[in-house]
Structure formats: C-alpha cells, structure tokens
Chains A and B, each alone.
Chain A
C-alpha cells in the first residue's frame, strides 16, 4: 500500500507565528493532495488542495507540492488559536476504476498558544 506520512506532532507555535506542516508520500503517480483540518471530536473539512508543482495561496494558507521530492507542505501564516486542530494530508479520494490504495496521513496536531 502506498502511504502518506506526517509528523504527528504536537506542533506548538505562538499566536501570530508561521506554522509549517509537512507530509511525504510514496506514490510517484500521485498528482494532487488535499489538506483537511479536523477539530477534536469533529469531522475533517477541506482547507486546501493542490494539483501542480509549486505554491498555492489562499488567505493565510499556502500549500506547496514538490513532486520530484514527493513532498507536500502547508504553511499557516499569522497563526490563531482557532487554528489549533489536527491537519490531515490526504491523497485524492478513489473513483470508479481508480481505487488506488493510498493511505491517509495520520495527521499533525497543531497547538497555537495565545
């Protein structure tokens, strides 16, 4: 099975700092990745997805994908206490005829301290 790996943390940053979350993946065929945020006891919610090499910015969030290094990252600028959550790095969900056995990362726990 092809895996996505993340540092489980916890990652602790002060309010206003940049939080950097990373994951690596083993499947060279992976074309896109998704970052979900999951608050304790809640379901994951999508915050970013990235298809191509390079950076993608959305507000305080920047996703980076480096296909050559098989590396994905998420930067959160001006971190807020409300960003405290677990961040999941995920491959695309499977589709009909493309049930690629890609395993989700376990998630990185982020704590933003006021």
Chain B
C-alpha cells in the first residue's frame, strides 16, 4: 500500500511562530504537493515539487515556503504563522503525469491562535 504520512494530525500554534509541516511518502514518487482545504474554497494548491530541490508555486504561495531535500520528504513552512492560515493542510504525491492517481496524506489540521 502506498503511504503518504504527515507528521501531525492536529497542531496549534501561536501567531508569528515559524511552523513546519512534514510529509513523507514511501513509494519513490516524483511529484509531491501541498494543498490547503477550507470550507467554501475547496482545495487550493500552495506549492508542488517535481524533483529534489525543485519546486513551483501553486495558487496561493504567499506566506509559505517549501523544502525538498530528499525525494521522499516534502516540507511546508509557514514563515510567520497568521490566523488566516488556520486550515486543513493536505500533502499528496503522484508517480508521474502518466499515472495520475494522487495519494493524499491524512491531513494536518492547523489552528493558529
């Protein structure tokens, strides 16, 4: 079974903190993605990575950065957490564009207070 694992299921952080969300996949997938999901707004792409050290901005990269030092791990960083970053964060991976199935992690519900 493919496994995409996010480091935390629930997180509570304070405004201004630097927050790290970690995602690890165990299937040697090329592409990894970070989304956030909010009621009424759906899934929105923050960043994605198609190779180690390679990244591209998604729809809403502001206030976020990412790191992919190893193929299996893709980290999302909130540089200075704000209350409007309270959300469900979903990590996903896919093998290649020709194999389109996206495997999602269990999600991290982040609350910024």
Number of interface residues of B (CB under 8 A): 27
- From known contacts A43-B107, A99-B58, A101-B59, infer whether A93 and B102 are also in contact, taking CB-CB under 8 Å: yes
- From known contacts A96-B54, A99-B58, infer whether A34 and B100 are also in contact, taking CB-CB under 8 Å: yes
Q: Which of A33-56 contact B (CB under 8 A)?
A: 34, 36, 42-46, 49
Main secondary structure of the interface of A (DSSP, over half): loop
Contact with A along B75-112 (1 / 0, CB 8 A): 00000000000000010101001001110111100000
Min C-beta distance of A45 to chain B, whole Å: 7
Chain B CB within 8 A of A88 CB: yes
Chain A interface extent, by class: 20 to 34
A43 and B56: CB pair below 8 A?
Answer: no
Bound-complex Cα distance A17 to B92 (A):
33
A103 and B92: CB pair below 8 A?
Answer: no
- From known contacts A1-B59, A43-B106, A103-B59, infer whether A93 and B43 are also in contact, taking CB-CB under 8 Å: no
Residues of B within 8 A of A99 (CB): 48, 56-58
